[in-house]
Structure 1
Amino acid sequence: MDIALMGIGKIAQDQHVPAIAASPDFTLAATVSRHGSVPGVAAFSDIDSLLAARDDISVISLCLPPVPRFDAAARAIRAGRHVMLEKPPGATLAECHALHRLAEAHRVCLFATWHSREADKVPVAKAWLADKRLRALRVIWKEDVRRWHPGQEWIWEPGGMGVFDPGINALSIVTEILPHDIHLTSATLDVPENRQTPIGAELTFYHPEGAEVSAVFDWRQEGDQTWTIVAETDAGTLTLADGGARIKIDGAAPPPADDTPLSGEYPRLYAKMARLLARGGIDMDLRPMVHVSDALALGHRRRTAPFTE
């Protein structure tokens, strides 16, 4: 199936283009970008030009920053195209709900992707936690913004989410692996004096069975990067490390699964999109974004030193 990719930035070049190239389900037939392109692939500078010229392309994958994404997604859906959304699915919850209603009205598929849920050991963690009583869960998500988001000024502007851009990856895993829903109770946000969005965050959550659930996000990490989730239960302690790529239970790695699932977060996302297209419908889990929205609403702002690249 022919697919178009809109927003040819770092994440598109690093992840989406290789995943589509390796996919048995999709062929990259066009790109939409004001600045980037993919060699050998038809390039358009705006979504309207693509929609007018290529009615043979039925699927559009959007890798734009969150703020301009709604307009492009709405135009594609109104034109009868199926849409795949890079995380987060939008800048606000309201526009995500609007896209959901629009996709229903036009009977097209809409997929809000959470790539970190596709990390190798996330399904293992979910299965292990399913029948355990949680006592505590701690998220430590610390990375160097200069290394992973160089020159991306949009992340510091309203709607860019700041440290929640990577932090929402952790929240997407937590909401996937826990058998019970949680909700935010308090937050402290570190906001640089010269920026609009936080560079660090400390979160606490309510758990219906009384477990202590917390998260620390920080974009000022130097040296080793940390993407870890630790869950203490009545039957032992589970640790997900490297963003869900590695798992240990009471310090030991569980035996590998017998099957050989598709490798890589983004290849798995495109395989899921193919299955969604086959059955029809909408996959739009907004729980990770709800937590971010709640943190931005409840969070106490702490002004910190100016940030410069």
Structure 2
Amino acid sequence: MAPIRIAIVGLGKIARDQHLPALGRSADYDLVAIASRNAAADEIPSFATLDELLGSGIALDAVSLCTPPQGRHAIARAAIAAGLHVMLEKPPGASVSEVLDLADAAAAKGVSLFASWHTRAAPAIEPARSLLAGRTIESVSIVWREDVRRWHPGQDWIWEPAGMGVFDPGINALSAATRILPRALFLEAAELSFPENRAAPIAAQLRLSDAARTPISADFDWRETGPQSWDIHVATKEGPVLLSKGGAALAVDGETVIDGGEIEVEYPNLYAHFADLVRGGRSDVDLAPLRLVADAFMLGRRRSVESFSE
């Protein structure tokens, strides 16, 4: 089977750290080009924009969009119009409406659209989902706390409208929770902490529930300078379940059953799934995590906190 000829659009930190290595190890793809305003890759044809790439004559089947969400809708629309399959880095767009429009456009054009959630591809996610399907869940506590200076240095776009602030990592937690928990989640209330000099929150406290009125809390914070936390604690009638390390590890009743260590399998798994979608003529666009973030901005109370600078 011929490899899928793919280009990366937006060669930033996440593309260099995750997308390039994953594509380099995959037999499903041939990385034929890069389109990025401020970067290029050695020995790969590079262009400033997708339009320049499309006008170059390079044969192409798909694009992986790694640009910030602001402005991504127009780029994805152009790729779909050119008959290309499209993979979207998370968050898939600046708004729910934008991504729904892309899904409609992809369906009309007959190409695949994949709104990817890398945390869902971590090794303990599916085992946790299967386990919790057979347990009685009493409560859930999500703790996702990290140091923004360590993980997002110099990325000013994340502090702008549609950059989402602390929800950039927080949406990873929501993507995991909406996958492993057996019922749909609903936001009841939120408190969002905005630095005085920023347009996006640095911390958020969420209160959620599901159709069974299960109490679910989420604590997102970008000011954690100590041990980093990417954990989902699930209290069940049968005993505690802990998904930790961002979905790489699973403990059941206090005993570790999966310890995936680092989560380098996430992006290879995402690209394997995208290849299946392309070859099967299907799309995968689950917006549950993005809808919860949108609900938090709509329902949340805003409070001002001290200014933030790197």
SS at match of 1:50: helix
Residue type matched to 2:29 in 1?
Answer: F
**Residue in structure 2 matched with residue 147 of structure 1 by the alignment:** 150
Q: Does 1:280 align with 2:277?
A: no
Residue type matched to 1:77 in 2?
Answer: I
Q: Does 1:122 align with 2:125?
A: yes
> How far is 1:113 from its partner?
0.2
Q: How does 1:166-185 map to 2 (within 5 A)?
A: 166-185=169-188
**CA distance in 2: counterparts of 1:63 and 1:276, whole angstroms:** 19
Q: Structure 1 stretches (4+) deviating beyond 2 angstroms?
A: 254-257
**CA distance in 2: counterparts of 1:127 and 1:26, whole angstroms:** 31
SS at match of 2:70: helix
**Residue in structure 2 matched with residue 15 of structure 1 by the alignment:** 18
List runs of 5+ in structure 2 lacking aligned partners: none
> How far is 1:256 from its partner?
8.4
> How far is 1:68 from its partner?
1.3
Deviation larger for 274-283 or 185-194: 274-283
**CA distance in 2: counterparts of 1:255 and 1:148, whole angstroms:** 25
**Residue in structure 2 matched with residue 71 of structure 1 by the alignment:** 74
Q: How does 1:43-192 map to 2 (within 5 A)?
A: 43-54=46-57, 56-192=59-195
Deviations 1:6-46 (A, max 9, x none): 00000000000000000110011100011111111000111
**Residue in structure 2 matched with residue 252 of structure 1 by the alignment:** 255
> How far is 1:234 from its partner?
1.3
Residue type matched to 1:238 in 2?
Answer: V
Q: Does 1:223 align with 2:235?
A: no
> How far is 1:263 from its partner?
6.3
**Residue in structure 2 matched with residue 305 of structure 1 by the alignment:** 306
Q: 2:29 aligns with which of 26, 30, 46?
A: 26
Residue type matched to 1:239 in 2?
Answer: L
SS at match of 2:123: coil
8 Å contact kept, 2:251–2:258? no
C-alpha change, 1:302 and 1:10, in structure 2 (3 Å) is: same
**CA distance in 2: counterparts of 1:103 and 1:54, whole angstroms:** 22
Over the matched positions of the two proteins, sequence identity in percent amounts to 47
Aligned residues: 305
**CA distance in 1: counterparts of 2:175 and 2:305, whole angstroms:** 27
Deviations 1:69-105 (A, max 9, x none): 1110000000100000000100000001100110011
**CA distance in 1: counterparts of 2:57 and 2:234, whole angstroms:** 48
C-alpha change, 1:82 and 1:198, in structure 2 (3 Å) is: same
Q: TM-score normalized by structure 2? A: 0.96
Q: Does 1:210 align with 2:176?
A: no
**CA distance in 2: counterparts of 1:306 and 1:256, whole angstroms:** 38
8 Å contact kept, 2:189–2:296? yes
C-alpha change, 1:61 and 1:203, in structure 2 (3 Å) is: same
Deviations 1:42-68 (A, max 9, x none): 001111111122451110000000011
**CA distance in 2: counterparts of 1:55 and 1:65, whole angstroms:** 24
**CA distance in 2: counterparts of 1:159 and 1:178, whole angstroms:** 27
**Residue in structure 2 matched with residue 296 of structure 1 by the alignment:** 297
Deviations 1:248-292 (A, max 9, x none): 0111012789xxxx9610000000001001111210000000000
C-alpha change, 1:59 and 1:271, in structure 2 (3 Å) is: same
**CA distance in 2: counterparts of 1:240 and 1:141, whole angstroms:** 12
**CA distance in 2: counterparts of 1:256 and 1:202, whole angstroms:** 28
**Residue in structure 2 matched with residue 198 of structure 1 by the alignment:** 201
RMSD: 1.4
8 Å contact kept, 1:135–1:210? no
List runs of 5+ in structure 1 lacking aligned partners: none
> How far is 1:122 from its partner?
0.7
Residue type matched to 2:156 in 1?
Answer: E
8 Å contact kept, 2:124–2:258? no
> How far is 1:210 from its partner?
2.2
Q: TM-score normalized by structure 1? A: 0.96
SS at match of 1:24: coil
8 Å contact kept, 2:112–2:277? yes
**CA distance in 2: counterparts of 1:235 and 1:144, whole angstroms:** 34
**CA distance in 2: counterparts of 1:192 and 1:293, whole angstroms:** 19
